Amino acid sequence: MPCYSLEGLAPVVHPTAYVHPTAVLIGDVIVGPGCYIGPLAALRGDFGRIVLEEGANLQDTCVMHGFPDSDTLVERNGHIGHGAVLHGCVIGADALVGMNAVVMDKARIGERSIVSAAAFVKAGFECPPQSLVMGAPAAMKRQLSDEEVAWKQRGTREYQELARRCLASMVECQPLAEVEAERPRMGDTGFRPKGDKSL
């Protein structure tokens, strides 16, 4: 992965975390145990500190950045969808930020909350735990049910398992010229039982 020390501060990646080789880590970045960081994610610790706590995931093309002396933090089991931008904010434990959402400086998303796809969370916004946050600008719409939180937690566990799968078996390769006869599907590889519809 492109990984850069800046002014003597090098990124820290726990050995059980998976960071895709195309993700970029710069400076004061801390990636905890069991995290997953997807392709083309950018974690720029060139001003403030960037932290992903244990079990968090940051998916494809996400950006984490912040102003000087700020922390941009995804707490334990946080789940950040494709293309989201986090800037100087805190995403609470077990919360989800949807695809292409933007969360701005000094915003705090409460634990077990969900920020909908394409939401724009203004600077300084705060929501209580287990909230649904939607809109541009975003507002708290309602409390989440326990079933909705459980749905989110299943998705996060899939990304924690994906980190383990990638560490164990992802290798760069050349593409095949043709599709093999009886090509297996990803669920047939042994990582998920056939017929599992848990997501």
pLDDT tens, position by position, 166-196 = 999 999 999 999 999 988 888 755 544 434 4
pLDDT of residue 137: 96
pTM for the model: 0.91
> Considering the domain boundaries, does residue 196 fall inside one?
no
Contacts of 4 (CB under 8 A, 6+ apart): 11, 24, 25, 26, 27
| Phi, psi (rounded to 5 degrees) for 59 | -90, -175
> Considering the domain boundaries, does residue 162 fall inside one?
no
> Considering the domain boundaries, does residue 54 fall inside one?
yes
pLDDT of residue 188: 59
CA distance 14 to 32: 5
CA distance 90 to 131: 15
Contacts of 52 (CB under 8 A, 6+ apart): 17, 30, 31, 32, 35, 37, 58, 74, 78
pLDDT lower than 70: segments of the chain: 188-199
> Considering the domain boundaries, does residue 58 fall inside one?
yes
- What is the token pair recorded at 168? 């164990």
pLDDT of residue 192: 47
pLDDT of residue 177: 95
User: Considering only CA atoms, which of 75, 83, 85, 98 is closest in space to residue 152?
Assistant: 98
CA distance 77 to 74: 8
> Considering the domain boundaries, does residue 61 fall inside one?
yes
Residue 139, Cβ density class (10 Å: 0-12 exposed, 13-18 middle, ≥19 buried): middle
What residues make up the domain containing 107? 3-143
> Considering the domain boundaries, does residue 27 fall inside one?
yes
Check which CATH number belongs to the domain holding 56 and give it.
Answer: 2.160.10.10
DSSP result, 77-109: T-EE-TT-EEES-EEPTT-EE-TT-EE-TT-EE
Q: Count of domains in the chain? A: 1
> Considering the domain boundaries, does residue 116 fall inside one?
yes
Query: Residue holding tokens 């195309």?
Result: 22
